[in-house]
Structure 1
């Protein structure tokens, strides 16, 4: 039965593009001051296959726009936007190029009851809901509601099936005065009479955010006090919810970091406000690749050291986020023996690849010490 479901998912889950759906509508494009940013250092960085398209002399923002669509289907369980007929996933509503093809998505498309929501709506959540995607991909989409034309609307309904602690903290601070949050049930689909579709402000595998949005976010969300810029932060993953990418010799590493004035933090035990205050006063941050590094969005021109458990950078999101924030970014890759240039590496099945990139690993403590000595 499982095998049959997988086959049906591959055959029946199809995608469409926004450009096919708004032929009669006029898109509103966000014009950004710093449309591109030099990224010459990427030429010397070993990016994993999915991210190699970003290895360019400069990073260019994607087309950032909003457009009003009619009769779009929203499926809250997986946060999918679907075209009306034929029923297909709107690919532009996903922050990655991969279309999810699993049994729950199949059921969302073909087996769910559909209710109607009248009026003007928008959806900012997406299929990916981890901490990184909440901050970098999903919430920034609401910035596009600041358009003067939308301010004239009587009401905009922000459709959401569930509120994470981060959403609860930040939404009241950034949504327009004429917007209100509408909670919906996950076991239904909803036909949205009018949808303001807002694009993502980032590219796949890139956390680079436009200057205009970062200024807006800082004004609305940052603490209203001077920075102290004194915290030397080591992000531990020992208590991470997914239990992945732990540093096996963390105690040995932290003994070195302690000598440089670092303190260890378990972000899972901190509130959103506590994390914000911590990173707002940061001077330098060290951590293994993980969602906790997203908090550097609260910092100001700091040093960031990202540690990878592979010989390559399999997701350069935080390099690009640091670039947009004007942070100094450094990275260290693992000394493990896998040959990055081995052609057989590219034949690894996706499931095996994910186990490989998420495995626990050892850090070369001497390299960390050498790097810190050159920075501090």
Structure 2
């Protein structure tokens, strides 16, 4: 094990400070944690439950320092992974990348006949999972807030993904950045570029175990820039073939009788999603990108996150901790013999309605 990463043949892992200049370190206090209220917790496999132990069971989450580090002459690819001119991997840029992904990227970089050289200074807003709405809004975008700590004229490096997500990225950057002349460079997953200067921000999140309060505070500021036009009680519908509720029509009609409005966030632009959730005091949905929008709901809102029993995730729990939500998870088995966490789920509609009525008391 090298710096917490399993070594592969020809792969060397180094810390950013080994080759870069630590411009700023911001001390960050820990925060109080609160275990979610979990329905059907007995269905969660032991291995999955252990994976969530730190996020769910710790009364206090220790703070991580936020470090702003400037790197010179580095190569970027594979969803924000950074290597130096000697093909050594910068540890802080490894974000859920597998060893095979890391090794593959290094081999491709070594074998490229010509890697485009990009002049100027850029802030790296890329990471593993960057194509996901939730990863972008919570783990990538808030780093833009630290431009004022270094150089307001810094350019930004972002992913080039689907047209819909590219619009979210563009809108969120323009809405949250005070500079009207912000220069945005897009990179596709398979692209490799060499940068004269690259700034990385480390310490805001570590997927699964840590989320700094600043990322939620940042999105709360984004929330204030949009007028609320949504209902108080919201059911978020998935616009994805994965993790669907097979009896969603029954659930929707039953919740409608309790005053809920059904919204499909995937069919709305970013500002419309924020607006639709801004006035919400109760939100129900399936664990997935759509539920990231709870960050735009009311402080102290009631949240019910319907999740596969086998899905080890604390992402939405941490958002709710920082928003001081009443956060609940409804765990259920997925359909199919293999119990894949992306399969559909059939929920007990009566039980969910009873939970909702109890949350409203």
CA contact (8 A) 2:121 2:154 kept: yes
Q: Give the equivalent residue in structure 1 for 2:348.
A: 364
The corresponding residue for 1:326 is 324
**Structure 1 residue 73 displacement after superposition:** 0.8
d(CA) in 1 for partners of 2:335 and 2:296? Answer: 36
Query: 8 Å contact 2:32–2:61 — kept in the other structure?
Result: yes
- Which residue of 2 is the match for residue 199 of structure 1? 202
SS at match of 1:72: strand
Equivalent position SS for 2:160: coil
Aligned to 2:120: 119
Structure 1 Cα separation of the partners of residues 186 and 21 of structure 2: 27
Cα 1:99–1:264 shift into 2, 3 Å? farther
Give the RMSD, CA atoms, in angstroms: 3.3
Q: Per the alignment, do residues 272 and 106 of structure 1 end up closer, same or farther by CA in structure 2, a change over 3 Å counting?
A: same
How much has 1:290 moved relative to structure 2? 0.8
Unpaired runs of 5+ in structure 2? 1-6
Q: Which moved more, 1:101-110 or 1:52-61?
A: 101-110
**Matching residue of 1:250:** 248
In structure 2, relative to structure 1, the CA distance for the partners of 1:230 and 1:220 (3 Å cut) is closer
Structure 1 counterpart of 2:4: none
1:309, distance to aligned residue in structure 2 (A): 2.3
Q: In structure 1, the residue corresponding to 2:85 is in which secondary structure?
A: coil
Which whole-Å CA distance do the structure 2 matches of 1:231 and 1:15 have between them? 52
Q: How many residues align?
A: 339
Give the structure-1-normalised TM-score: 0.78
Matched residues in 1 for 2:212 and 2:65: separation? 12
Q: 1:39 is matched with which residue: 34, 39, 52?
A: 34
> In structure 2, do the counterparts of structure 1 residues 183 and 208 end up closer, same or farther at CA, with 3 Å as the change threshold?
closer
Within the alignment, does 1:94 sit opposite 2:94 as a pair? yes
Measure the CA separation in 2 of the matches of 1:40 and 1:78: 32
Q: How does 1:204-219 map to 2 (within 5 A)?
A: 204-206=207-209, 208-210=211-213, 212-219=214-221
Q: 1:303 to 1:17 in 2, by over 3 A?
A: farther
Whole-angstrom distance in 2 between the partners of 1:236 and 1:229:
15
Secondary structure, in 3 states, of the residue corresponding to 1:180? Answer: coil
For 2:89 and 2:278, how far apart are their aligned partners in 1? Answer: 38
Q: 1:218 and 1:43 mapped to 2: Cα distance?
A: 26
Corresponding residue number in structure 2 for 1:25: 21
Question: Counterparts in 2 of 1:254-293, with a 5 A limit?
Answer: 254-293=252-291
Aligned to 1:306: 305
Question: So what's the TM-score if we normalise by structure 2?
Answer: 0.81
Equivalent residue, structure 1, for 2:294: 296
Residues 68-147 of structure 1: pairs in structure 2 closer than 5 A: 68-75=70-77, 78-85=79-86, 87-96=87-96, 98-99=98-99, 101=101, 105=105, 108-112=108-112, 113-129=114-130, 130-147=132-149
Distance 2:24 2:312 in 1: 34
62-71 vs 89-98, which deviates more? 89-98
Rounded to whole Å, the distance in 1 between the matches of 2:252 and 2:74 is 51
Moved more, 300-309 or 215-224: 215-224
Higher strand share: 2
Name the residue aligned to 2:3: none
* Structure 1 stretches lacking a partner, 5+ long: 1-9, 339-351
Match of 1:6 in 2: none
* CA displacement at 1:259 relative to structure 2: 1.6
Shift in Å at residue 30 of structure 1?
2.1
| Structure 2 counterpart SS, 1:128 | coil
The answer on whether the counterparts of 2:159 and 2:187 sit within 8 Å (CA) in structure 1 is yes
In 2, the alpha carbon distance for the partners of 1:179 and 1:359 equals: 44
Q: Do the aligned partners of 2:233 and 2:281 also contact (CA within 8 Å) in 1?
A: yes
Q: How far apart, in 1, do the equivalents of 2:276 and 2:12 lie?
A: 42
